[in-house]
A = this chain, B = another copy of it.
Amino acid sequence: MTRLFNDPAAFADEALEGFVAAHPHRVRQVPGGVVRATRTAPGQVAVVVGGGSGHYPAFSGLVGQGLAHGAAVGNVFASPSAHQVRQVAKAAQTGGGVLLAYGNYAGDVLHFGQAAEQLTAEGIPARTLGVTDDISSASAAEAHKRRGVAGDLVVFKAAAAAAEAGHDLAEVTRIAELANARTRSFGVAFSGCTLPGADHPLFTVPEDRMAVGLGIHGEPGMGEQPVPSADEAAELLVSTVLGELPEGVDSPRGQRAAVILNGLGSVKYEELFVVYRRVAQLLHEAGVEAVDPEVGELVTSFDMAGVSLTLCWLTDELEPLWTAPADAPAYRKGTVEAADLISEGPAEQAVEEPVPAATEESRAAARTVLAALRTLKSTVDTHADELGRIDAVAGDGDHGIGMQRGSTGAYEAAVRAEQLGAGAETLLHRAADAWADKAGGTSGALWGVILRAIGTALGDTGRPTAPVVAAGVAEAAAGVMRLGGAEVGDKTMVDVLVPFAGALTTATADGQPLSIAWDTAASTAAAAAAATADLLPRMGRARPHAEKSLGTPDAGAHSLALIVRAVHPVLAPTLEIR
């Protein structure tokens, strides 16, 4: 379990601060994460990686010459926000565009994808690549749905070495895709980690049993077996990985492969070496030449007891990229030609952007929105433990803490915006960015979308009417479905948001005042949230033991219903709005 922390909510930030203090010659901290402390050649493609905290050396430990140019660092097990990714990318890029590379998880896909769009819109060409090496997470036919594990390292390294060699963004992206297509991982686990401040492990495996193919956050695997001997574990890992050769590789014999035997946290070095002894024998027997094998902790999950094997089937193009020198805090290879350290000037003062002009009517609406955000935050605070417990039934139990981080950040940004005289749109947009930024993860991105859509509907001029509010909520529902890819019936917040938006639209179109319409819609929402208890989660959601959640509502649906009910009294002053 994780024992040493201060405020659990500050864990990821404090870890990053300590990491940077320990590695001042390799990395420097920027808003959203870290970038290389060394100068990068102008025009070089920047490879920016990232993901949640708790997986060190992924992702910050992989920043340095020959490896990543920067890493966006999210909260514990939560994706960084699009805003964070964008900030890190802008600090890392030197004019050659940016490849954003990350493990293929829902939250990361959302945020890195948004960041790429925004960067491109700002004139910084950006491409994305979600690593999909874990063969236990989806069938070969659905390889694009697979999640990324220790194969991240091979893909990041190939891309970065290609960037250092001067290739352009299209070529670096092609090489990263090639490396990803030829990389396969498979892992087993004996126990899960307990996150900082949590009471219980994220998941458990029965004693004397081994979970086969379990994900690093406890995502469902392929079953359980008795704990094997080290040699048997090696045989399972090798036979499974060799059992799915990439396109163009007909037989292992005569192939050369990058090999990673990765410890997840508390399967320790000597155990890994005992397993590797047999892995090396088996690869040799299969005719595979292991090139620069790595045996150690490359992608962890705190102290999760697990081990995974990764092979990247090298080509003539990929091999020199794998063997190229690198010099990151947690990954060093060969000898890099040391680049100049960037001498940091005086720390940049964050300049607060002025708010656009707003009418008095919109500023009044903004004050109502602010009051609603205050209520939202206190509602989340009151229910945080309950939300965590509900989420823990079938998920990773962090919904309460994520909602707290997001709603607190949103409220604080809104307070500041109101002080600056913001209208409703600007206030909600700033709250939206702050929510996504502070919460990270999937729900952070989706709540960012909700607040932003409503803000856009309200505008910074004029007095919002009830139909306008309803239209904003409807647009929010559409945006959440678009971004999150879920539909009604998937047991997500969409199951509440869509009927809520529908009820609000119908009632306001009938000419009901906002407060009355909202009251009706909130009841609809509560019923819809309760109904999620009877559903199974959507396929592919990263949730272990999904069947356990039968009888328990979805945490995201439940929190949304609580919130729309709680903010109703705040909307009473808008009773007369039609």
Contact = CB atoms under 8 A, between A and B. Distances in A.
A230 interface: yes
Contact of A14 (B57, B233, B269, B274): B274
Contacts of A297: 269, 297
B6 A270 contact: no
A56 B268 contact: yes
Given A230-B14, A269-B61, A4 B302 contact: no
Q: Which of A61, A268, A278 has the most CB of B within 10 A?
A: A268
Interface string A250-276: 000000000001000111111111111
A482 interface: no
Contacts of A447: none
Interface in A523-575: none
B269 A3 contact: no
B229 A6 contact: yes
B230 A190 contact: no
Interface residue tally on A, bucketed by range: 35 or more
Nearest to A3: B190
Interface in A301-345: 302-303, 305, 307, 330, 332, 335, 338
A360 interface: no
A280 interface: yes
Interface stretch (A16-24, A42-50, A153-161): A16-24
A201 B10 CA distance: 32
A273 B227 contact: no
Contact of A267 (B4, B11, B53, B277): B4
Contact of A273 (B18, B196, B270, B338): B18
A462 interface: no
B268 A305 contact: no
A2 interface: yes
Contact of A4 (B14, B275, B295): B275
B22 A273 contact: yes
B332 A335 contact: no
Given A2-B268, A268-B300, A268-B302, A277 B229 contact: no
A271 B4 contact: yes
Given A18-B275, A18-B280, A21-B276, A269 B303 contact: no
A300 B267 CA distance: 12
A22 B293 CA distance: 6
Contact of A276 (B22, B53, B227): B22
A455 interface: no
A341 B2 CA distance: 42
Contacts of A307: 4
A266 B18 CA distance: 18
A11 B270 contact: yes
22 contacts: A2-B268, A4-B229, A4-B267, A5-B229, A6-B229, A6-B231, A14-B273, A14-B277, A15-B270, A15-B273, A17-B273, A18-B273, A18-B275, A18-B278, A21-B293, A22-B261, A53-B270, A268-B300, A269-B300, A303-B303, A332-B332, A335-B335
Interface of A: 2-6, 11-12, 14-19, 21-22, 53-54, 56-57, 61, 190, 196, 227-231, 233, 261, 265-278, 280, 293-297, 300, 302-303, 305, 307, 330, 332, 335, 338
